[in-house]
Chain A
């Protein structure tokens, strides 16, 4: 199965600090997603990114969040001023065929803990 990687695996930060979560999606894929999962809750969609632009975002993805593709391979999610309620697992995903296919491959996630 194609592999999506994420770093770091665990990030601990103080409230109000900025964090950057990184994802390396499947090679040559142009379409990416970020999801989050608060402990014990369901996986929630944050944002999708296609060809260097946000193509869709949820109500969760407010001005505190931003996404970038700083180089040809990495894909980042930045949280500008973290809040306690941002503590969650954050997952990056690539669709199966590189474009907007239904099946998605998920990375292992970054566990963000905000103190």
Chain B
């Protein structure tokens, strides 16, 4: 498989705290994306970081990419109960434009 794993598999924090999730991948990439999935729903694109970028921000999201370690992290600052969801990193398959997803991190934010 081209795609590695996210860690932790599950994360439980309180509102206002920061949540950090990590992702590892196995092959060279052009970019890496993060998606969110609310329980039983479709995936929603959060942010894309290109291979020549080291860090990117979008609102309360901060993504880093270390291509030498083949890893990425997603930081959600000042978390809210509404951030409760599963978070997946995704890279493009070698053979085309479809995505390979990791197993995801399940985030629970309690009030």
Contact surface of A with B, Cβ cutoff 8 Å: 1, 4, 31, 33, 35, 41-45, 48, 55-56, 58, 89, 91, 95-96, 100-109, 111
Decide if B93 touches A109 in the complex (CB within 8 Å).
Answer: no
Residue B31 lies at the interface, judged by CB distance under 8 Å to chain A: yes
Cβ-Cβ contact count across A and B, 8 Å cutoff: 64
What B residues does A91 contact at CB under 8 A?
Answer: 42-43
A45 to B101, CA, bound (A): 9
Contact surface of B with A, Cβ cutoff 8 Å: 3, 30-31, 33, 35, 40-45, 48, 88, 92-93, 95-104
A96 to B33, CA, bound (A): 13
A102 to B35, CA, bound (A): 12
Q: What is the CB-to-nearest-CB distance from B25 to chain A, in angstroms, rounded to a whole number?
A: 13
What B residues does A89 contact at CB under 8 A?
Answer: 40
Q: What is the CB-to-nearest-CB distance from A102 to chain B, in angstroms, rounded to a whole number?
A: 6
Decide if A43 touches B33 in the complex (CB within 8 Å).
Answer: no
Q: Which 6 A-B pairs have the closest CB atoms?
A: A106-B42, A56-B96, A100-B97, A43-B101, A45-B98, A106-B43
Q: What is the CB-to-nearest-CB distance from A39 to chain B, in angstroms, rounded to a whole number?
A: 10
A107 to B42, CA, bound (A): 6
A11 to B9, CA, bound (A): 29
For B44, the closest partner residue in chain A by CB is A106
A112 to B97, CA, bound (A): 26
A105 to B44, CA, bound (A): 7
What A residues does B40 contact at CB under 8 A?
Answer: 89, 109, 111
User: Which of B35, B98, B104 has most A Cβ within 10 Å?
Assistant: B98
B48: contacting residue among A48, A55, A103, CB under 8 A: A103
Decide if B95 touches A56 in the complex (CB within 8 Å).
Answer: yes
With A41-B103, A42-B88, A102-B92 known to touch, is A48 a contact of B97 (CB < 8 Å)? yes
Decide if A56 touches B42 in the complex (CB within 8 Å).
Answer: no
Decide if A103 touches B88 in the complex (CB within 8 Å).
Answer: no
